[in-house]
Amino acid sequence: MEMNTTPTYHLNTTGVSDGNGFEYIDPYSGLRRSLKIMTLIIYCLAFVLGVLGNGAVIWVTGFKMKKTVNTVWFLNLAVADFLFTACLPMSVTYLALDFHWPFGKFMCKLNTTLTSLNIYASVYILMVISVARCVAVVWPVWARNHRSVRKASCVSLGVWVLALILSSPYFVFRDTAPAFRNEEVINCFNNYALSDVYDESVYELVIFRFKAMTITRIVLGFVVPFTVIVSCYAVIIHRLRRNHTLASQSGRTFKIIAAIIITFFLCWAPFHIFSVIELVHQITSFANLSLDYVITIGIPITTSLAFINSCLNPLLYVFVGQDFRDKVRKSFLNMLEAAFQEEESDSHTDTNTGNTSQSQMKSLESEL
């Protein structure tokens, strides 16, 4: 995912002449070549696993099961990840052709916009799921009375609209142009100048837009949702520890909570950290070879790691905590269907005070 106008790791030639007898020798050509091969392999794996895994989730939640709040959440999450992984072959082609984009300007814009849409939609859907689970634990009776497929669908629609708004700048700024070293090679890049002419007069505007886009993606695409997710599960853990009845049954819950937080953080934190490093490097007026080397290695690796999240989500939210010994004889689709089922207790409210603890337990188990 190329988020800047001149990605450092796109310089994959051994030398460039400026026409005056001076030739720049790229000291990282071998490293860039190895990283490109690694990235191609990861993208191909993410495509296969992501399309199959998310496609199966879409099939089960969208066509095989009765619509519930849980199926609405997971269906939207799977759609976001599926759209992204389905577009990965274009990125694979771009890399395989040595950063030549053969699909035209519109597809250049659309591909990056869909990538950004996945970032925001999937992260905010995960945040919504976390908030819903927190509410179900803290106010179980209220949650059962107010949970509905219609409300969940409206919330999901709001997430998609927000994600589309946050992604729309990429459709504006994304552009294609001949490469500096070879006019036969067409690059797909972020043209923050919105012009074919790039000089010092637009430098400050380009830097401002680049900073705004990067900071927005870091804050709204990671810091805010991650803070909400961690806060929600901190409340859940605190509530479980206070309720001894629930805590005795919470072993699987803690595993899922740990998996959600750790996976989310490991997949996205490195990407956003290197986005900050790259931003500092781009706006710094002096050359820093050590920082350039770090970015050369880090950007492709962290980008690939972030993309892997799209094929991990089906495993994370379907299989973590499931008893495989009891389900090993079941088919893949049956396992998915069992994972998304909600307890019958969610459809009604217990009026008997003596059943409150049991009702809360069933509600918690279905949410977590």
Amino acid at 242: R
Residue 168 placed within a domain:
yes
pLDDT of residue 328: 38
Residue 315 in domain: yes
**What does the pLDDT read at residue 365?**
42
Q: How many residues comprise the chain?
A: 368
Residue 2 lies in a domain: no
CATH number of the domain enclosing 222? 1.20.1070.10
pLDDT at 254: 60
Note whether residue 142 is domain-resident: yes
pLDDT at 141: 84
Number of domains in the chain: 1
Reply yes or no on whether the pLDDT at 75 is more than 60.
Answer: yes
**Does position 220 have pLDDT exceeding 90, yes or no?**
yes
Dihedral of the CA atoms 157, 161, 164, 165 (nearest 10)?
-170
pTM of the model: 0.77
Cα dihedral 178, 179, 180, 183 sign: negative
In a domain, 3, yes or no: no
**Does a structural domain hold residue 130?**
yes
pLDDT of residue 93: 93
Which of residues 100 and 181 earns the better pLDDT score?
100
Question: What confidence score (pLDDT) does residue 155 get?
Answer: 94
Got the DSSP string for 12-64?
-SSEEE-SSS-EEE-TTHHHHHHHHHHHHHHHHHHHHHHHHHHHHHHHIIIII
Tell me what the mean pLDDT of segment 207-215 comes to. Answer: 89
Does the pLDDT of residue 348 top 90, yes or no?
Answer: no
What pLDDT, in 10s, does the model give residues 256-313?
666 767 887 888 889 888 888 888 877 765 556 667 777 778 888 888 888 888 888 7
Express each pLDDT in 8-48 by its tens digit. Answer: 333 333 344 343 444 445 566 777 788 888 889 999 999 99
Does some domain include residue 164?
yes
Q: Which residues of 189-213 are buried (b: 16+ CB within 10 A; e: fewer)?
A: bbbbbeeeeeeeeeeeebeebbeeb
Could you give the percent of the chain with pLDDT greater than 70?
69
Question: Average pLDDT of the chain?
Answer: 76
What is the domain range of residue 157?
A: 8-367
Residue at 272 is within a domain: yes
Tell me the per-residue pLDDT of 156-202, one tens digit each, with 9 for 90 and over: 999 999 999 999 999 999 999 998 777 888 999 888 888 766 666 77
